[in-house]
Amino acid sequence: MMRAHRFRYHAARSLADAAAALRDAGPGAMLLAGGTDLVPNMKRRQQTPPFVISLRRVPELRGLAARPDGSVAIGACVTLSDLVADAHLRACYRALWRAAAQISTPQLRNMGTLGGNLCLDTRCNYYNQNYEWRKAISFCMKAPTGAAIAQPDGGICWVAPSSPRCWAVSSTDAAPALIALAARVTLTSTQGQRAIPLADLYADDGMTYLTKRPDEILTSVELPPAAAGWRSTYWKLRRRGSIDFPVLGVAAAVRLGAGGAVVEARVVLGAVASHPVVVDTQALLGRPLSDAAIDAFADGAAWHAKPLDNTDFALGWRKKVARSYLAGALRELRGDDPAALGLLARRAATLLPVVA
C-alpha cells in the first residue's frame, strides 16, 4: 500500500492560528485542505513536507455568500461539491459552476476545495509518478519542496531537455473559469491581507507556478457582481467523462450589448501551459459573434495553446481541439444549441453532474 511519509501535523483552529503556524514552521511546511492533491503527492514522495498545517477546522475559510453589492465571496476551503450545489453560482457564474462540476470525481469534489484547486501543483507525466519510477529516469528538475528524502541532482526537464525551465502543466479547472469571471483572491499572512487579480497569482513556470509568498495563505475568492449581459462557460477536454485532469480547458465570458455586439470578453485557456493563458480578445469587441468572427478569433487564439508531450493525448491533436473548443464555447455563448455543435462539443457542453 502507498503510504505518506512521516510528518508533524497541526490542525489550525483559526486563520490567525494557521498564519502563525505557517510563519513559524519556516520553509517546507505545507497547507492541507481537502488533501486530494497533497496526499497523493506525499505518497509518491513528490512533496514531503516535514510539517503539515491543516485548514479543515478554520471557520473563516468556509463561507460562501453574496455580499450586499452583489459580489460573491467564497472561502478557500469551500468544497467543490458545495460550489456545485449553489444555485446562485449555477445561474450567474456558469463558467465556475461548470468547471467545478467537472473536476475529478464526485467523491473528490466532496473533499477537494476551491483553494486547493487554485493552488493545484502543476502536473506532468514525468513528475506525477511514484518515487521508484522517478528514480528510473534520474528524477527531473521539479524537485519536491521540503523533501524529507534527499534526491539526487535532477536538473533536467525531460519534456524539453534543452530547456532551462520546467514545463509542468497548470491543470486547475477553476482558475481559467475564475480568471474569465475577473475573480480576485485574498492572500493572508501574519503581516496582513492583500487582494490580487487571480490571474496575477500564476507564473509561467512549472516549478514556481504561484506568485504568493510561502507564508501566505489563499483565503478567499471574490467574484464581481453578476452584471447584466454577461454570459460565461467552461469546456473541458479529457479522455473520460470523470476522474481525469483537463488536457485542455477553455473558459470564456462575454458581455453582449445591443444587437449582440460584444462589449467585453475574456477568454482563458487551461492545461496548455504552466499557467492559465489569458487570450487577447480585442478582435472580438464591437461586433456580434458571427461565424466569421468566431472562426477568425479561434484560429488566432488556438496559437496560444502550446501543449507539450507530458499529458494524455497527442499534442498535435490537443492543439487542433483547442481551436474547435474555442469556437464552440463562443458559439454556445452566442446562444447556439450545444447539441448542434458537433459530438465533442456536445459532450463538453452537456457532461455535467446531474446531482448537485
Partner 1 sequence: MNNVHMRLHVNGESCEVAFAPHKTLLEVLREDMGLIGTKHGCELGECGACAVLADGKPVLSCLLLGIECDGMDIMTVEGMAGDARLHPLQEAFADLGAAQCGYCTPGFLVTAKALLDKKPDATRDEIKEALSGNLCRCTGYIQIFEAVEAAAAKMAPAHREKP
Partner 2 sequence: MSTTGAGNGNSNGGSKKDGAALNVIGKPRRRVDGRAKVTGQTRFADDLFFPRMLHCKLLRSIHPHARIRSIDVSRALAAPGVKLVLTGRDFPIPYGILPVSQDEHPLCPDKVRFVGDPVAAVIATTEDEAFDALDCIAVEYEPLATISDPAQALATPEPRIHDYGDEGNVHKRVALEFGDVEAALASADHVFEDVLFYQGNTHLPIEQHAAVAVLDPDGKLCLWSATQTPHYVHRALAKALALPAAHIRVIATPNGGGFGGKSDPFHHEIVVAKAALVTGRPVKICLTREEVFYCHRGRHPVLMKIRTGVRKDGSIVAMDLETLLDGGAYGSYGVASTFYTGALQTVTYKVPRYRFRGCRTFTNKPPCGPKRGHGTPQPRFAQEVQLDKIAVALGRDPADLRLQQIAEPNSLTANYMRIGSIGLRECIERVVEGSGWRKKWQKLPLGRGVGLGCSSYLCGAGLPIYWNDLPHSGVQLRLDRSGEVTAFCGATEIGQGSDDVLAAIIAEVLGIDPFDIRLVTGDTGLTPVDLGSYSSRVTLMMGNAAIQAAERARELLTGPVARKLGVPASRLGFADRRVFDVENPDRGLSFVEAVWLAEAEHGTLGTTGSYRPPQSAARYKGGGVGPSPAYSYSAAVVEVEIDPGTGWIHVPTVWIAHDIGRSINPTLVRGQVEGSVYMALGEALMEEQEFRRLPPKLSSAMVHKFPSLLEYKSPSTLEMPDVVTYLVEDPDPKGPFGAKEVGQGPLLPVMPALANAVYDAVGVRIDEVPVTPEKIVRALDAQAHGRPARVGPGKFPTVRWPEALKVPPPWEGGDGNAINEPPRKSKPTDKGGRQVRP
Closest separation between CB of residue 49 and partner 1, Å? 11
Phi and psi at residue 217, in whole multiples of 5°? -115, 130
Choose the one of partner 2, partner 1, none that binds residue 125, judging by a C-beta under 5 to 8 angstroms depending on kind: partner 2
- For residues 134 and 139, what is the distance between their CA atoms, to the nearest angstrom? 5
- Which is nearest to 115 in space by CA: 47, 41, 30? 30
Q: Mark the segment that binds partner 2 (CB under 8 A) among 8-16, 155-163, 167-175, 199-207.
A: 155-163
Q: Which is nearer to partner 2, 70 or 316 (CB)?
A: 316
The verdict on 137 binding partner 2 (CB under 8 A) reads yes
Write out the binding residues for partner 2, residues 227-286 only, by CB under 8 A: 239-245
Q: Which is nearer to partner 1, 11 or 283 (CB)?
A: 11
Closest separation between CB of residue 281 and partner 1, Å? 33
Q: Which residues, other chains included, contact 210 with Cβ-Cβ below 8 Å and sequence gap of 6+?
A: 119, 201, 202, 203
Question: Measuring CA to CA, how many Å separate 201 from each of 55, 139, 194, 293?
Answer: 20, 27, 12, 31
Q: Which is nearer to partner 2, 1 or 292 (CB)?
A: 1
Q: Which residues, other chains included, contact 135 with Cβ-Cβ below 8 Å and sequence gap of 6+?
A: none
Q: Which is nearer to partner 1, 119 or 322 (CB)?
A: 119
- For residues 16 and 37, what is the distance between their CA atoms, to the nearest angstrom? 24
- For residues 306 and 278, what is the distance between their CA atoms, to the nearest angstrom? 13
- For residues 75 and 52, what is the distance between their CA atoms, to the nearest angstrom? 20
DSSP 217: E
Q: Which is nearer to partner 2, 145 or 151 (CB)?
A: 151
Closest separation between CB of residue 168 and partner 1, Å? 17
The verdict on 320 binding partner 2 (CB under 8 A) reads yes
Write out the binding residues for partner 2, residues 31-60 only, by CB under 8 A: none
Q: Mark the segment that binds partner 2 (CB under 8 A) among 69-77, 163-171, 187-195, 339-347.
A: 339-347
- Which is nearest to 272 in space by CA: 194, 167, 182? 167
Closest separation between CB of residue 35 and partner 1, Å? 5
Cβ atoms 255, 263 nearer than 8 A: yes
Closest separation between CB of residue 46 and partner 1, Å? 11
Q: Which residues bind partner 1 (CB under 8 A)?
A: 1-9, 11, 32, 34-36, 39-40, 42-44, 54, 56, 81, 104-108, 110-111, 241-243, 352-355
- Which is nearest to 145 in space by CA: 175, 160, 114, 166? 166
Choose the one of partner 1, partner 2, none that binds residue 190, judging by a C-beta under 5 to 8 angstroms depending on kind: none
Residue 192, C-alpha cell as written in the block: 496582513
- For residues 81 and 356, what is the distance between their CA atoms, to the nearest angstrom? 7
- For residues 131 and 308, what is the distance between their CA atoms, to the nearest angstrom? 23
Closest separation between CB of residue 271 and partner 2, Å? 14
Q: Which is nearer to partner 1, 112 or 276 (CB)?
A: 112
Binding site for partner 2 (CB under 8 A): 1-3, 6, 125, 128-130, 132-133, 135-138, 149, 156, 158, 161, 239-245, 312-314, 316-317, 320-321, 324, 342-345, 347, 351
